[in-house]
Amino acid sequence: MGRMRIWLGVLLAGIVVSCTAPRKAAVDKETGEAQKVVVSEEKKKEFEYLFIEALKQKMVGNPQRAVSLLSACLEIDPRSSAAMYELANLHLMNNDLTSASLLLDKAIAVNSGNKWYQLLLARIYQQMGKNAEAAALFDQLARLEPDREEYLYMKAMELAKAGKTDEALRTFSELEKKTGLNDQISMTKQEILLEAGRVKEAFEEIRRLIASNPADPRYYGVLADLYKDQGDKENALRNYLKVQELDPGNGFVNFSLASFYLADGDSAKAWEYTLRGFESDGVDLETKLQLYLLHTGPNAEMPLSAEQNETLIHLLAKKYEGDYRIYSIYAEYLIRHDRNREARDQLLKVLAGGMTDFAIWEQLLFLDNDLQDWQGLYEHGGQALELFPNQAQFYFLRAIGALQLTKYQDAVTLVEEGLNYVVDNKFLQGQMVFLHGEALYKLDRQEEAFTLFDQALALDPENYIAMNNYAYYLSLANRDLEKAERLSGRVIERFPDNATYLDTYAWVLFKKKNYALARFYMETALSHSEEQNATLIEHYGDILIMLGLTDEALVQWQKALDLGSESKLLRQKISEKRYLEE
């Protein structure tokens, strides 16, 4: 077996180009050609000063100044390859590949023996997709330094990208004369042959490797994949099993077999080998997690059942106990399947390990909110703010918890502080101003609250919750009922089946003494309510009593009372058989 070398590219960092004194040259104004002239010592010193100053400016992060200084250098000496090279680097930093390549072309014409110029130009040609030109430069470099085998490798790769398959293969053969049979070269040749549709030769290349080292299981795996891709199931399976025979601890082959059986329509066998792969100590956790995501993603080739998914995640959690990535990935899966409470449990395990990732804390608070766990939202929001005290979103979410827990002053304080951290986000600002108004309303600071509701809607005109609540509060206060009707009307136009919003609209109409229309919308609200709601039913009774339907109103009020209505006047309304304003 030849020497095993891995070439992952040529590093260009750390290149140092010495600054030599300028040549005695000037440019002919008519021809543009450089011609020899006598340059004074003073000009030489000026060149050296400008060049060194340009390098300093580049180092301190002032590329524009460096460009000006290097351009001045080239005015003194148009044939300074060092100035051209440095200027090319600056153009490359600015992603001006064309200017950089032209300068390097000139630099190489002046100093053809400088490999750094050629390496940088080759790199630029690769970025520009000029693969044949890059290959030519690597060829020159290979001639300059025959012992640097990576140049031949890069030449072959660029030829292949340029579609010059035969030339690329000949270059690889030339390289193999230096290195001997090399699995990296053979694998690359095999891939190139497959892309060129030369399948038979690709098989021959892998068989060469197997013949050189018949005990290496990797080569049989590649051969098996080739057979599988060509639809030869029998030979594919035989070679996969050969890998297992040679390397019983090879966990990766289990996944290859799983893919093989899946393609063959045997899902039971596919799952069996998938499970073996996840159980194997021969496969690293990173690979297992990537495969898990592939199996549980929306475009999974082999979608897992809920039971299979649970099996894999519990297997991983047991095998790699305490690794937060497992809980985090499982939480994502649970969220996708609307299992928010379980997802939150997984995120709490992640955070229990001391994880301080912003996205995880944010997701936890969103789940608290979705689950309406206001105590959890309030407490977790406080913990999140200790870690991220300048994140407006966390102030907002904790303020929601405070409001729901009737900690109204806390909510006010949180919002007022959080607003200091809102930057260029009118939506969030509008949400927070609305929340501020809600808290003040609960503190009986009605005028301030109404002012904030107007501000919130100016910032976020699509905040339908704010519109609904504002309209309801106006109706309770018996003020600006026309405005309340407009606001509520916009809401039910957008959400015509929402029972809460329909109740608000009906109540605004009730306050405007439009009892018949109020009854229609209240009955619509009740028909869309998922469960019996004491407030809606009491409101329905209020409407009926104003329509003179006393007996029907009493039935609805009693039903609201039986449902546990917290209305202070409900019993009195039933007793006196009349509507009482709260």
Model confidence at 91, pLDDT cuts 50, 70, 90, reads very high
Average pLDDT over residues 260-266: 89
Which is it for the CA torsion 385, 389, 390, 395, positive or negative? positive
Q: Which pLDDT score, from 0 to 100, does residue 317 have?
A: 86
Model confidence at 39, pLDDT cuts 50, 70, 90, reads low
Average pLDDT over residues 352-381: 94
Helix (H) or strand (E) holding 420: none
Average pLDDT over residues 391-416: 97
pLDDT, averaged across the chain: 89
Model confidence at 83, pLDDT cuts 50, 70, 90, reads very high
Note the residue count of the chain.
Answer: 582
Name 340's Cβ contacts closer than 8 Å, sequence gap at least 6: 334, 367, 370, 371
Q: Which pLDDT score, from 0 to 100, does residue 40 have?
A: 66
How is residue 71 written in tokens? 């351009």
Number of continuous H segments (helices) and E segments (strands) in the chain = 31, 2
Model pLDDT for residues 53-63, shown as the tens digit of each residue: 999 999 998 99
Q: State if pTM tops 0.85.
A: no
Model confidence at 15, pLDDT cuts 50, 70, 90, reads very low
The CATH architecture one would assign to domain 18-128 is Alpha Horseshoe (1.25)
Q: Which amino acid is at 137?
A: L
Average pLDDT over residues 127-156: 93
Average pLDDT over residues 362-386: 96
DSSP state of 22: P
Per the CB < 8 A criterion, the answer to whether 119 and 139 are in contact is: no
Q: Which amino acid is at 415?
A: V
Model pLDDT for residues 294-353, shown as the tens digit of each residue: 888 777 778 888 899 889 988 998 888 878 888 888 898 889 889 999 999 999 998 988
Helix (H) or strand (E) holding 393: helix 392-404
Residue 36 has pLDDT above 80, yes or no: no
Q: Which pLDDT score, from 0 to 100, does residue 432 have?
A: 97
The lowest-confidence range among 69-83, 101-115, 322-336, 506-520 is 322-336
Q: What b/e sequence results for 315-325 when a residue is b if at least 16 CB atoms lie within 10 Å of its CB, and e otherwise? A: ebbeeeeebbe
The lowest-confidence range among 99-103, 294-298, 325-329, 524-528 is 294-298
Average pLDDT over residues 186-198: 91
Helix (H) or strand (E) holding 409: helix 408-418
Residue 9 has pLDDT above 60, yes or no: no
Residues of the chain with CATH 1.25.40.10: 18-128, 468-576
Model pLDDT for residues 442-464, shown as the tens digit of each residue: 999 999 999 999 999 999 999 99
Model confidence at 389, pLDDT cuts 50, 70, 90, reads very high
- Unique residue bearing structure tokens 């309406």: 372
At the topology level of CATH, where does 468-576 sit? 1.25.40
Q: Which pLDDT score, from 0 to 100, does residue 310 have?
A: 87
SS3 of residue 579 by DSSP: coil
Q: How many CB atoms within 10 Å of residue 265?
A: 8
Label residue 444 exposed, middle or buried (CB < 10 Å: 0-12, 13-18, 19+). Answer: exposed
Model confidence at 41, pLDDT cuts 50, 70, 90, reads confident
Can you tell me the distance from the alpha carbon of 401 to that of 297, in angstroms, rounded to the nearest whole number? 33
Can you tell me the distance from the alpha carbon of 92 to that of 67, in angstroms, rounded to the nearest whole number? 12
Partners of residue 35 on adjacent β-strands: 26
Question: Residue 489: which of 499, 477, 504, 510 has the closest Cα?
Answer: 504
Q: How many CB atoms within 10 Å of residue 33?
A: 10
DSSP state of 578: S
* Cα distances (Å, whole numbers) of residue 420 to 391, 400, 414, 427, 522: 10, 17, 10, 15, 42
How is residue 85 written in tokens? 């090279």
- 3-state helix, strand and coil shares in percent for the chain, rounded to the nearest 5: 70, 0, 25
Residue 14 has pLDDT above 80, yes or no: no
